[in-house]
Amino acid sequence: MGNNILVTGGAGYIGSIMIPELLHAGHKVTVLDNLMYGQNSLAHVCHNPNFNVVRGDVRLKDTIAPLLKKAEIIIPLAALVGAPLCDSDPIGARSVNHDSTLALLKMIGNDQCVLMPTTNSAYGTGDQNNHCTEESELRPISRYAKEKVAVEKALMRRKNSISFRLATVFGMSPRMRIDLLVNDFMYRATHDGFIVLFESHFKRNFIHIRDVSRVFLHAINNYEKMQGEIYNVGLPDTNLSKKELCELIQKYVPNFVFHEAPIGKDPDQRNYIVANKKIKASNFSPIHSLNSGIQELAKGYTMIKNSNYRNI
């Protein structure tokens, strides 16, 4: 028997992949989304009687409170995602990413489960060797990461929750984002043929968008064992520098060239190597490689050539 699940921001990049999977698994899913990008990314599941969508603002108590009462599981995806977008609208980012989530946590009961996507960008520059586990000190740099850290602290004060510190997500989605690192580099490789790298040695960890959906389903199915914990979610052997990522892309886009700028500073100063052993110990392993994701994006970008799919 499925659960009643509320997903805020469910028509976004991740939700547009996750919602069909939740429905396929037999759950009843309600999505609350303000549809700020004018997307119809969940049109293909409207036929499903177990799907419901509400157009509204997660910050409005009168909108979200009735939906929370019916939910057994809450997945708060609603957010202004990424440092550039948050810096361009700091008030909106604070009210959505921080204030509305803390308000949500106060409105729900102890018996309701919360599966929260946070971010491993909070590790900042890692330790002296750039290695990070779930126990590592958090060094958030961006406004986005700092507010995610504050929300995670509040979340983990209640036992009936799980936090997923997601690596940099990549892959195609009906509500596409081409501003994420792998997606961005592949877009530039496909349509521009070149890119200039600043601080090309900076490393990131990565995860395919469909593996993000899989880990949430995994948590629902193994909730008793996993609740009350924080998990890094990324490809276990894919901590690559920006230069290494470009070299990998060149295998699939041979005409792509990149230049390492000798001077200049990347505004995104994250640089870390993330361990994903804890989520693996829960018997979850990603199945979508970075290589397959690059090939997927190459096909997807034959259909996309504009800037409407960036968050900023």
CA angle 193, 194, 196 (to 5 degrees): 165
Asked if residue 301 is part of any domain, the answer here is no
Mean pLDDT of residues grouped by 10 in the chain (312 residues)?
A: 94 98 98 94 98 97 97 96 85 91 95 94 72 89 87 93 97 95 96 92 94 98 97 94 96 95 71 92 98 97 81 70
- Residue 120: what pLDDT? 86
Helices 209-221 and 15-24 cross at an angle (nearest 10°) of 40
Domain total of the chain: 1
Write the DSSP symbol of residue 97: I
Q: Which residues of 79-95 are buried (b: 16+ CB within 10 A; e: fewer)?
A: bbbbbebbeeeeeebeb
CA 2 to chain centre: 24
- Residue 175: what pLDDT? 95
Asked if residue 243 is part of any domain, the answer here is no
Q: What is the pTM of this model?
A: 0.94
DSSP 147-185: HHHHHHHHHTTSSSEEEEEE-EEES--SS----SHHHHH
CATH number assigned to the domain comprising residue 12: 3.40.50.720
Asked if residue 294 is part of any domain, the answer here is no
Euclidean distance between CA atoms 75 and 96, whole angstroms? 14
CA nearest 156: which of 130, 134, 123, 132? 134
Asked if residue 41 is part of any domain, the answer here is yes
- Residue 300: what pLDDT? 96
Asked if residue 132 is part of any domain, the answer here is yes
State which residues form the domain around 86.
4-169+208-234+274-286
Structure tokens at 39: 């997307």
- Residue 264: what pLDDT? 63
Asked if residue 200 is part of any domain, the answer here is no
- Residue 199: what pLDDT? 85
Task: Give the 3-state secondary structure of residue 76.
Answer: strand
DSSP 250-262: HHHSTT-EEEE-S
